[in-house]
Structure 1
Amino acid sequence: MDEVASAIADPVRREILTLLRGARLTAGEIASRFEISRPAVSRHLRVLRESGLVRDELIGRQRYYVLHPAPLAELADWIARFDTSTAWEHRLDALDTEVYRTRREHRAAQADRNPKENTG
């Protein structure tokens, strides 16, 4: 997980992952999208490959890079543990239920005290 987190810490590598999300690209095609040198792009690709986020496939004489997002799942699961929105949603649902129950009991108590108003 640390290797994946380290790999996605760099904005260039995150952009490479975004590019590969919908396409299989060569190193040259990837490098053409950046204003950094080809060797720098190759180093970023190596980091992504070593972290397991990218795989390379040799097709003929061309090496294509393909996104492999599975390693992100462990990191996403770990991050999700810090998302308290679902816990708050459950608490707010419980509060809503309690408010509804209290209002219903209050109306029933009023009806018991003023029976003439209900027959009328």
Structure 2
Amino acid sequence: MKTFIIIGAINAFLSVALGAFGAHGLEGKVAPKYLDIWKTGVQYQMFHAAGLMIVGLLMGQIPASAFLTWSGWLMLIGIILFSGSLYILTLTQISVLGAITPLGGVAFLAGWVLLVLAVLKLS
């Protein structure tokens, strides 16, 4: 339970810090196109940081579930692959890194589906 709340809070912190870095540290250093890519990474990291905290809170309220546990891990994997690839793409402008981003998106989607299944399993 605590694990996903802590991981979520750390990712929320990091998304704020990375958002500030993008707005102040990258402005004028990378093309606006890449700043938008950076912002997308920050936005999705924050959404899924909140998702991780929801998973952690639910773990304290409902019986243990592999669906719920995997939901949290897939959200974390999604942050690493999706947001991480966008951050690296922005900094390096190596466009082939964009091929990794959809894998993170699939991890995000699977994480949310598993969260729904974990809750439906209660009924």
With structure 1 as the length reference, what TM-score do the two structures score? 0.27
The structure with the largest alpha-carbon Rg is: 1
Structure-2-length-normalised TM-score: 0.26
Decide which structure has greater strand share: 1
